[in-house]
Amino acid sequence: MMRKYEVIFILHPSLDEDAVKANIEKFKGVIENGGGTIENVDFWGKRKLAYEISKVNDGYYTLVHFNANPELPKELDRVFRITDGVIRHIIIKKEA
């Protein structure tokens, strides 16, 4: 059964443009290879963080809306945790 999710993640500001695009494609690939479908990818660009995280004050924000089975967010969370350059992420199940 497919459910609707959204994920927002913040990448480290020291990454260059190619590394940011590569990371976004990597996370899209995890969703698609896990049987999910991506509805929308919204790259917000470099923004100031609400508060300092590990002496970093800004980052690259990306919002992704996708449909997936209930197991996929666990795998996506694991990939976010082991990927260098990810400052923060959150995966939210949306009400249908």
Q: What are the distances in angstroms from CA 46 to CA 3, 5, 64, 69? A: 29, 23, 16, 31
pLDDT of residue 61: 98
User: Using CA atoms, how far apart are residues 8 and 52, in angstroms rounded to an integer?
Assistant: 18
**Mean pLDDT value across residues 9-21:** 96
pLDDT of residue 95: 84
Whole-model pTM: value is 0.93
pLDDT of residue 41: 97
* pLDDT (tens digit per residue) in 21-76: 999 999 999 999 999 999 999 999 999 999 999 999 999 999 999 999 999 999 99
Residue 50 has φ and ψ, to the nearest 5°, of: -65, -30
C-beta separation of 50 from 59 below 8 A: no
pLDDT of residue 96: 63
User: Using CA atoms, how far apart are residues 57 and 72, in angstroms rounded to an integer?
Assistant: 30
Of residues 17, 5, 6, the one with CA closest to residue 60: 17
**3-93 belongs to which CATH class?**
alpha beta
User: Using CA atoms, how far apart are residues 79 and 92, in angstroms rounded to an integer?
Assistant: 16
pLDDT at residue 8 above 80? yes
**Mean pLDDT value across residues 71-86:** 96
User: Using CA atoms, how far apart are residues 30 and 33, in angstroms rounded to an integer?
Assistant: 5
